[in-house]
Amino acid sequence: MLKAKQMTRTVVVGHKDVLDKTVEVLHDSNIFHIEDFNETDSSFKIGKPFENAGDVSKKLVKLRAISNFLGIKSKDIPKRNPEDLWRDLDNKLTNLENELNAKTEEKAKLEAKLKELESLQKELEPLAAIPVNLENYKGYENIAVFTGYVREDVRSAISAKTTDFELEYDAQNSIIALFVRKDKESAVAEILADYAFREIRVPASEGKPSEVISASEKEKDSINKEISSLEKAISSVKEKYADFILASDELLSIESQKSEAPLRMATSEHTFVIDGWVPEEEYSKLENIVNAATNGRVFVSKQEAEKKDEDKTPVEYENPKLTKPFELIMDLYARPKYKEIDPTLLIFFTFPLFYGMILGDIGYALVLLGVAFAVKKFVRFEAIKTLMNILIICQISTLFFGILYAEFFGFALASLHTDHGTVPGLIAGFETINLFASPIGNEMITYPLHRTHLAMTLIAFTTLIGVAHINFGYILGLININRAHGFKHAMLEKGSWLVIELGILAVVLGFLGYFPVIIGALIFLIGFIMLVKGEGIKGPIELPSLLSNSLSYTRLIAVGLSSIYIAFTVNLIAWQMIWPKGGIAAILAIIVFIFGHAVNTVLSIIAPGLHALRLQYVEFFTKFYEGGGRKYDPFGYIRKYTEE
């Protein structure tokens, strides 16, 4: 806890004759993190992939292309025997490809034909009301044809120029089909220009436009049915081969990793060297299985890790199972460095604590608990399940604070006696109990805690939480720097902040008469000098952040109050304004109540989550945490669809 799993730098050296066996056993063990070899300034060369690498890669690319096309999703299937899969892989992959190609090519042809018909229809639609066959628009030696839009009927204007013409006019769409003698073409064109003539292209086809459109529509219906039939056939192919694709993808991925492993290691003419890391507790296991697989022909040795190696040592979390989901929150920020304190366990306590303090409502906690369990049951993605586990833990905290505040969807469960009278609670007979008077704002501390009536006390309380949280961060920072650079640096960089705060406290106590103010001023000055020496000019510049960071924790009460007032407003609209009218208004009241609280439930995930996260990332982590560690990524594969 609070530190990463201990790693041992390990080198595996052997003869190339046993390279394939070594790669096989390292992959199966799934505990060895390989460091990619850089041949710069080295007499060794990067190894060459195994002979089957190209073939495996080609099949894998083909399979994944098919998988993406079919939209194959991860699902639970019985595990397949790898030997059976290898035996059938080529034939099945070929059959799958052929079946799919035949159907997709036919579908592509039909879709192209469909587009042609749609394009033809679009061109013919303007001519649909003109009863002239399409073949009659072209092919004349002595007749000119004008087809297009005009501003208005041009018959009288054309008649004034010539009587040798035929005109069809669609008055509704202002479209003409005009046939005139060639010798009148120029004169007619001038007349049409005055009527804003805009030509329409006549497609090459036969028959009346309306009849061609009707025939195209029927053909489109037929094509759509064929496409639908092909899509069903493709879906059948998907159903038929889905399990095979998932299992084969896994099998080929594993083989691809193995066949390309030499690209990550150093080789000479006869030997290979693999550099990497293994968890300290797994070193003996790695040594034994490599020796057993190669009959002792491969030498596994520990290497002394140097100080300069710390930044590139892979980091694997080592936390209790219950806190594992919160590693996701750490990874969202940055994985800790190898020697750095891992704050996952601290986040496990403080993140749900802050979340619960903000939301603190029994009703919302129960709804979100139900949502989280339902999503966990029906969603397969591990990342989503991890998020739901975090949400569940946060809702347990919310439930605790909901009982402390006695709030249910914004309703107070207990009655409250104020100077303005008694405010009844949702539970009859549940009376608020006075406990003691707060030293701040002369407010009465009660059970349940009515947040709306204890604002000043809770603002002061949350500020104190901030001061404690921030100083805990400085202490962790002191430990981190002590590990990395020694006690002196730790005291100057982080201890100085504690000394400064002690000085400020002493000055305040001095003004209250407990001891001379000068003592506090001297302590502050010492801390200030330490800070300048430890962090340079940056330290004094950041000094005001002590106050702003502490006040930032007042969001624990401020955001919570906003949620209460949203819920209160929803309840007020639903029950006091609409409900008494009855009838349709009662139905509207229920809709308002459900919709309003549904929106507030969504906000209850986002707002408390973001603000609780901000207090960790911005106010807390900046006091001690750097992050940037490399993820431990062992050479291997966690099988889901194939047997070991």
Percent of the chain with pLDDT over 90: 81
pLDDT class of 616 with cuts at 50, 70, 90? very high
- Rounded to an integer, the average pLDDT of 281-292 is 96
**Structure token pair of residue 603:** 């906000």
Res 255: pLDDT = 96
Judged by average pLDDT, the poorest of 188-192, 236-240, 302-306, 573-577 is 573-577
Res 582: pLDDT = 64
Global pTM?
0.79
Q: Is the pLDDT of residue 583 over 90?
A: no
Residue of 350, 369, 371 lying closest to 361 (CA atoms): 369
pLDDT class of 236 with cuts at 50, 70, 90? very high
pLDDT, one tens digit per residue, over 351-360 is 999 999 999 9
DSSP codes joined into one string, 111-180: HHHHHHHHHHHHHHGGGTTS---GGGGS--SSEEEEEEE-SS--HHHHHTT-S-EEEEEETTTTEEEEEE
Q: What is the distance between the alpha carbons of residues 504 and 531, in angstroms, rounded to a whole number?
A: 14
Residue of 119, 181, 126, 171 lying closest to 148 (CA atoms): 126
Res 354: pLDDT = 97
- Rounded to an integer, the average pLDDT of 593-619 is 92
As a residue count, the chain comes to 644
Q: Is the pLDDT of residue 149 over 90?
A: yes
- Rounded to an integer, the average pLDDT of 21-40 is 94
- Rounded to an integer, the average pLDDT of 91-101 is 94
Res 590: pLDDT = 84
Q: Is the pLDDT of residue 285 over 70?
A: yes
Q: Is the pLDDT of residue 75 over 90?
A: no
pLDDT class of 581 with cuts at 50, 70, 90? low
Res 578: pLDDT = 64
Average pLDDT over the chain reads 92
Res 318: pLDDT = 95
Res 356: pLDDT = 96
Alpha helices in 195-280 (DSSP H): 209-260
Residue of 127, 212, 134, 112 lying closest to 174 (CA atoms): 127
SS3 of 567, please?
helix
Q: Is the pLDDT of residue 546 over 70?
A: yes
pLDDT, one tens digit per residue, over 623-637 is 999 999 999 999 999
Asked whether the beta carbons of 234 and 152 are under 8 A apart, the reply is no
Res 580: pLDDT = 60
Q: What is the distance between the alpha carbons of residues 422 and 282, in angstroms, rounded to a whole number?
A: 67
SS3 of 46, please?
strand
Q: What is the distance between the alpha carbons of residues 203 and 220, in angstroms, rounded to a whole number?
A: 18
Q: Is the model more confident about 274 or about 310?
A: 274
Q: What is the distance between the alpha carbons of residues 22 and 13, in angstroms, rounded to a whole number?
A: 10
pLDDT, one tens digit per residue, over 173-230 is 999 999 999 998 999 999 999 999 999 999 988 999 999 999 999 999 999 999 999 9
pLDDT class of 591 with cuts at 50, 70, 90? confident
Q: Is the pLDDT of residue 579 over 70?
A: no
Judged by average pLDDT, the poorest of 509-513, 523-527, 588-592, 612-616 is 588-592
pLDDT class of 577 with cuts at 50, 70, 90? low
Res 310: pLDDT = 83
- Rounded to an integer, the average pLDDT of 554-581 is 84
pLDDT, one tens digit per residue, over 108-145 is 999 999 999 999 999 999 999 999 999 999 889 899 99
Res 218: pLDDT = 94
Res 308: pLDDT = 79
- Rounded to an integer, the average pLDDT of 12-18 is 95
- Rounded to an integer, the average pLDDT of 252-263 is 96
Res 501: pLDDT = 95
Res 224: pLDDT = 96
Asked whether the beta carbons of 344 and 326 are under 8 A apart, the reply is yes
